[in-house]
Structure 1
Amino acid sequence: MDHTFTVLFWINRARTNKKGEVPIYARITVDGKRAEIATGCSVEGERWNAAMGSVKGNKEDARSINAFLETIMLKLNGIHRKLIEQNELISAEAIKSIYFGKTVKRHTLMEVFDHHNRQMASQVGKDYALGTLKRFETVHKLVREFIRHRHGKSDLHLSELNHEFVTDLEFHFKTVRQCAHNTTMKYITNLRK
């Protein structure tokens, strides 16, 4: 899936310290959604080149700060590239979390399906009929069977689900399981819930 990704370094003039220095932030933007990281660096406002996102000049401190900002940029780009390679969900917050060493919880289809069915089971007799729960349990079993048959795994991460997965599942229901069209569509509808 195509998306936009940018990293911009900027200074926050509202946070000028007693020495007249302003902190430098990195703004990560993915598809218009932002997350910001404090770089820990600060500079006098007049020495900041907003167009370049760097400190002006050739002084040692300017070269040092610019090298550090370049390191941050490379790390953020590396995280973005890794998320693409692993077919993960890409968001500004996810990139920020990984940058700070936090793990991003990857949910799986069967995990979410199990959770849904447990919640539904607790509502049988109130909001749901026993037959409805049984139908969802059947869909759960059939989807797990399809994943094993088609992908050779016991489960898939949600980030791996796409239109192709749904069309392959529909084809599997109609051919391998020999389900009628209406039954297949009902199973797909239950899965989408």
Structure 2
Amino acid sequence: MRSTFKVLFYLKKNEVEPDGKAPLMGRITVNGSISQFSCKLDVKPSLWDTKSNRASGKSIEAQKINRKLDNIRTQIGKYYQIISNRDSFVSAEKVKNAYLGFGDKYRTLLTVADEFYEQYAKRVGKDRTAGSYEQLLINRSRIADFLKDRYNLSDIPIREIEPSFIEDYYNYLLEERKLASSTLLTAITKLKQIMLIAQRKRYVRVNPFVAFRFKAQTRDRGYLTEEELHRFMTVKLRRYKQRQIRDIFVFCCFTGLAYSDVKKLTFDDIQTSFDGDL
């Protein structure tokens, strides 16, 4: 008996976003079994042609959407054929999982990251610090938030990550999370580290970071003039805590120590110099 196989797309018009677009979904049908998935595309309802199952018109946006849909349909068709040739039973769920990369031969972005973090945690206190491990977890949280906010996903097959994904992540951190340039660079570097691990383990053939270039953003941090610093040093403050914070800031100004270094100072760091002064 010949199996029936279809891939259709539909718009979730009841979930229109503030920008006027709605999420586009896919539906796989195999021998009566049905499985749905997100196409990770948002489309204006006025642009969607339900009858033809495509974006209408010849605009650049419509052509881009239709190319993406054609690619999705082709990829799903390939996995359907592979499973049909290999297994005696084919279901829509099987085909969807193969396409999304949740089969035994595939890895997802966060699972690859977690494998690396688990090994990293074992080295804390030896050749890695607790602070650096904490930064890894913070950046994992940023990736998870990005997947949820932009794609409504809890994870993504690592082989599906393309240069456009990295550009989207960069813009998300810059525009929505408003990260400073140095923090943004760190976040992007941590994602690149995961992709290099995936490439080394052959989960992906080509690293999508190859063509990515980080666009450094310069910030005007401002500065205090000598007169302003003197006024700051001599102003009378009633509270001890305020005076203490002021003294620490002045100490940083004259020593050039970063806040993160001063924060770690303890009384044990106060030593007697050769001239007898502390």
TM-score by length of 1: 0.51
Structure 1 SS opposite 2:83: helix
2:19 aligns to what?
19
Q: Does 2:79 match 1:73?
A: no
1:35–1:96 Cα contact (<8 Å) kept: yes
2:102 aligns to what?
102
Q: For residues 45 and 24 of structure 1, do their structure 2 counterparts lie closer, same or farther at Cα, with a shift above 3 Å needed?
A: same
2:121 aligns to what?
none
Offset of residue 39 of structure 1:
0.5
Query: Take 1:37 and 1:21, find their aligned partners in 2: how far apart are those partners?
Result: 18
Offset of residue 104 of structure 1:
5.8
Query: Take 1:33 and 1:83, find their aligned partners in 2: how far apart are those partners?
Result: 15
Q: Mean alpha-carbon deviation: is it higher for 67-76 or for 94-103?
A: 94-103
CA distances 1:129-166 after superposition (whole Å, capped 9, x unpaired): xxxxxxxxxxxxxxxxxxxxxxxxxxxxxxxxxxxxxx
1:9–1:53 Cα contact (<8 Å) kept: yes
| Counterpart code for 2:43 | V
The structure carrying a bigger strand percent of its residues is 1
2:52 aligns to what?
52
1:39 aligns to what?
39
Query: Take 2:62 and 2:28, find their aligned partners in 1: how far apart are those partners?
Result: 22
2:3 aligns to what?
3
1:11–1:24 Cα contact (<8 Å) kept: yes
Offset of residue 88 of structure 1:
4.1
Offset of residue 4 of structure 1:
1.4
Query: Take 2:16 and 2:85, find their aligned partners in 1: how far apart are those partners?
Result: 40
1:97–1:104 Cα contact (<8 Å) kept: no
1:6–1:29 Cα contact (<8 Å) kept: yes
Q: Mean alpha-carbon deviation: is it higher for 81-90 or for 3-12?
A: 81-90
Structure 2 SS opposite 1:64: helix
- Number of residue equivalences: 105
Offset of residue 102 of structure 1:
1.6
Structure 1 SS opposite 2:61: helix
2:86 aligns to what?
86
Query: Take 1:16 and 1:44, find their aligned partners in 2: how far apart are those partners?
Result: 9
Structure 2 SS opposite 1:18: coil
Structure 1 SS opposite 2:96: helix
Query: Take 2:82 and 2:48, find their aligned partners in 1: how far apart are those partners?
Result: 31
Offset of residue 87 of structure 1:
3.3
Offset of residue 2 of structure 1:
2.4
Matches within 5 A, 1:115-134: none
Identity of aligned residues (%): 27
Look at both structures and tell me which one has the larger radius of gyration over its CA atoms.
Answer: 2
Query: Take 2:27 and 2:4, find their aligned partners in 1: how far apart are those partners?
Result: 13
Can you give the 5+ residue segments of structure 2 that lack an aligned partner in the other structure? 106-278
Q: Which ranges of 4 or more aligned residues in structure 1 deviate by more than 2 Å?
A: none
Structure 1 SS opposite 2:101: coil
